[in-house]
Amino acid sequence: MTAPWRILSLPPIADEIVHGLFAPLGDAAEVAFPQTRDRAGLLAALAGADLVIGDFTGRLALDAEAVAAAPRVSFVQMPAVGIDSIDVAAWASAGVPVANAAGFNARGVAEWAVGAAFALCRNLARGDRAVRAGGWPQMEMAALGPREIHTQRVGIVGFGAIGAEAARLFAALGCAVSYWTRRRRPEAPATYRELDELVATSDVLVLALPLTEETRGLIGPERLALLPDKALLVNVARGGIAPDGAVLAALDSGRLAGAALDVFEQEPLPEGHPLRSREDVLLSPHTAGASVQSQLNLLGMVRDNVTAAVQGRDVQNVVNGLNPLVTRR
């Protein structure tokens, strides 16, 4: 009898949920978890794993050392869109396909981006804090220049599933929407612009692209300086794309009138970080995609892809260029 596939689950998801996902596989698979959520626990657990479900928190990084500790692994499924905690090239060199969960939270993140833009345009968080503190800053709030969102030119950097969904939502509100990505999308519900032109013509700049070596620092001080005065920034991508220091400098200069940030260079955001004390910044703990619907989508995608791997069928959303047909090593 063939030994069952050993599925190593790394994310902080309740054990019973993970077991339930793969119960239909019966004796064909068994689920395992690291004994400790640290480096030593990860490396020890990888030694006996055939398939790995990555850690969406990034704490248990699947880097080159992890590859060397995983001689039996045939497939890695990341339960997220971002793959910056995985050395995809190292896994490719080992012949192991890596897949993500592209699109699972596209609608949820896009809705957060639109909601955050609304909040910035009308200074909703600032008004809420002032009233809760006992104030009634009616005239002060009016003096901040609240805007109706349909008047705003929206630029979207990155045009995958999230960027495209955000473009549709902003366009439905009457916004003029433009986008930049490395490959133009003729079917896009938005106007393509080169990156510098996009930044220079965006009243609301939305970041929705993955963090890679090429995109790290992409929206830095020089590009932020191209923004129209009193522009707004919404970041649902990764903190390293628009470094915290550059965002703070743009806020101090007045180039940015406000920013809504779901992601940061260091997470959790350190205590005492200057972003925490700013009235012109809306902060969120990396939860833009954390809706009930997106979580159900995620679990379904992980279940279907890992099940396909166990059954020898093609897996979807491979990100490191390998043939998606998984064979046991």
Residue 31 corresponds to which amino acid?
V
137: exposed, middle or buried (Cβ count in 10 Å: 0-12, 13-18, 19+): middle
In the CATH scheme, what architecture does the domain 5-100+292-311 have? 3-Layer(aba) Sandwich (3.40)
Residues in CB range of 16: below 8 A, 6 or more apart: none
Active site residues: 238, 267, 286
Q: What is the pLDDT of residues 45-69, one digit of tens each?
A: 999 999 999 999 889 999 999 999 9
Residue 116's CB is within 10 A of a number of other CB atoms, namely 27
Helix (H, G, I), strand (E, B) or coil at 84: coil
Task: Identify the pLDDT of residue 33.
Answer: 97
Q: What is the pLDDT of residues 156-187, one digit of tens each?
A: 999 999 999 999 999 999 999 999 999 898 88
Task: Identify the pLDDT of residue 124.
Answer: 96
Task: Identify the pLDDT of residue 329.
Answer: 46
Task: Identify the pLDDT of residue 324.
Answer: 67
Q: Give the fold, CATH level 3, of 105-283.
A: Rossmann fold (3.40.50)
User: Hey, do 5-100+292-311 and 105-283 end up sharing a CATH topology, with the first three levels equal?
Assistant: yes
DSSP state, residue 62: B
All structural domains of the chain with their residue ranges: 5-100+292-311, 105-283
Residues of the chain with pLDDT under 70: 1, 324-329
Tell which residue, 299, 327, 318, has the closest CA to residue 86: 318
Rg (CA), the chain: 22
Task: Identify the pLDDT of residue 327.
Answer: 57
Pairing of strands 176-180, 191-192: parallel
Tell which residue, 255, 283, 259, 256, has the closest CA to residue 269: 283
- 106-122 vs 292-310: helix crossing angle, rounded to 10: 150
Residue 40's CB is within 10 A of a number of other CB atoms, namely 10
Task: Identify the pLDDT of residue 325.
Answer: 64
The model carries a pTM of 0.86
